[in-house]
């Protein structure tokens, strides 16, 4: 008898940053089995996406975090009647009675709850914060299995929600081939060297003001790659900053080939994929010694004290000025990325599907 596995793919694609990469690469690398049918729930924008052409698709038009999406997803799931649903983010329909598993990418909103983390009205923010807490609680308590991207988050989930450790599985993410299998690309950027790169959003927990302070002290250029402009106005102003907006993977590789270092000052991360992508291109990485980053990067990054712009400035200066250190970090980075594979992640997830269906 054919089993139906439904994957919530509403966050598919690079425009959804790290979660989007996770969903896209999971679906790209899933094995094919005759006794299993994969059904996707996607946004209508993905109707003609070639990568998804071989799947049965249902369309969810409402924003995943909205109340309307709760009822829309319930309706779709009752039509599909899957044997197992994989919610790839915490925003699942809390009233769904069927068997499901969930990926919890991080618990950042549990730890960073100040209104500085939003541009919304504070009342609306606290209402959404309550909804978020209910959704995560429902997800981890009722799920047949929970997937997380790092041991750091497995430990945090078990401690906070008193979960059975056997219920929580770590599946490390991977690095797309374009970052490790590339030729020298023509540069489209005219940023004066030396310069460093930061890729990611600009939420307060990303700790970008520390980086801006450090590069201003060094009188060094900083390229910021950010798909969203939220919080740009709240950053310290500096003539050394170059905001590049959203870039394609090809453009990002080109930028990394030009840059002198990648700096990841974040105070808390789900996985830290941008640093691995930079390592794959051959760019030395400097990171805060915070949350899961030492677990993921190990000895392949140079760490700084997360609250010190002086320490960060010193580490940037070291990487740019010490060629031996630079080459050592590049070599270690190349070895480090070999530990991570989207194909391996998808195979491990498939095994979890099989386990969840049987239980």
Per-residue pLDDT of the chain (359 residues; tens, 9 = 90+): 889 999 999 999 878 878 999 999 999 999 888 789 999 999 999 999 999 998 999 999 999 989 999 999 999 999 999 999 999 999 999 999 999 999 999 998 888 666 555 556 666 766 777 888 888 999 999 999 999 999 999 999 999 999 999 999 999 999 988 898 777 666 778 899 999 999 998 888 999 999 999 999 999 999 999 877 667 777 888 899 999 988 888 899 999 999 999 999 999 999 999 999 999 999 999 999 999 999 999 999 999 999 999 999 999 999 999 999 999 999 999 999 999 999 999 999 999 999 999 87
Question: Residue 122: helix, strand or coil by DSSP?
Answer: helix
Six-digit token string for 129: 């914060």
**260, 194 Cβ separation under 8 angstroms:** yes
Q: How many CB atoms sit inside 10 A of residue 227's CB?
A: 16
Instruction: Say whether pTM exceeds 0.75.
Output: yes
pLDDT at 117: 55
Please, what are the domains in the chain?
3-174+341-358 (3.40.50.2000), 179-337 (3.40.50.2000)
């Amino acid at each position: 008898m054919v089993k139906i596995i439904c994957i919530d793919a509403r966050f598919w694609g690079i425009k959804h940053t790290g979660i989007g990469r996770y969903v896209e690469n999971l679906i790209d690398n899933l094995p094919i089995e005759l006794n299993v049918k994969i059904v996707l729930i996607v946004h209508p924008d993905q109707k003609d996406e070639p990568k998804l052409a071989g799947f049965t698709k249902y369309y969810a038009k409402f924003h995943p975090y909205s109340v309307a999406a709760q009822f829309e997803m319930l309706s779709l799931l009752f039509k599909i009647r899957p044997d197992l649903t994989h919610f790839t983010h915490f925003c699942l329909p809390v009233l769904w009675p069927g068997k499901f598993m969930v990926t919890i990418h991080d618990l950042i909103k549990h730890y960073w709850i100040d209104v500085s983390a939003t541009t919304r009205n504070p009342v609306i923010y606290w209402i959404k914060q309550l909804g978020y807490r209910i959704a995560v609680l429902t997800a981890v308590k009722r799920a047949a299995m929970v997937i997380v991207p790092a041991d750091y988050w497995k430990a945090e989930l078990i401690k906070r929600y008193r979960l059975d450790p056997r219920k929580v599985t770590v599946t490390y993410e991977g690095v797309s081939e374009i970052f490790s299998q590339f030729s020298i690309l023509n540069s489209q950027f005219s940023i004066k060297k030396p310069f460093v790169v930061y890729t990611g959003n600009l939420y307060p927990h990303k700790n970008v003001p520390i980086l801006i302070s450090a590069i201003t002290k060094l009188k060094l250029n900083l390229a910021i790659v950010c798909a969203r402009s939220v919080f740009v106005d709240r950053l310290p102003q500096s003539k050394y900053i170059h905001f590049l907006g959203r870039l394609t993977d090809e453009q990002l590789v080109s930028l990394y080939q030009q840059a002198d270092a990648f700096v990841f000052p974040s105070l808390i991360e789900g996985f830290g994929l941008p640093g691995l992508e930079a390592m794959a291109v051959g760019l030395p990485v400097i990171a805060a010694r915070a949350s899961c980053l030492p677990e993921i990067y190990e000895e392949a990054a140079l760490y700084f004290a997360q609250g010190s712009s002086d320490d960060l400035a010193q580490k940037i200066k070291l990487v740019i000025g010490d060629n031996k250190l630079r080459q050592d970090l590049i070599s270690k980075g190349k070895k480090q990325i070999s530990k991570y594979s989207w194909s391996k992640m998808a195979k491990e997830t498939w095994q979890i599907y099989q386990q969840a269906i049987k239980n």
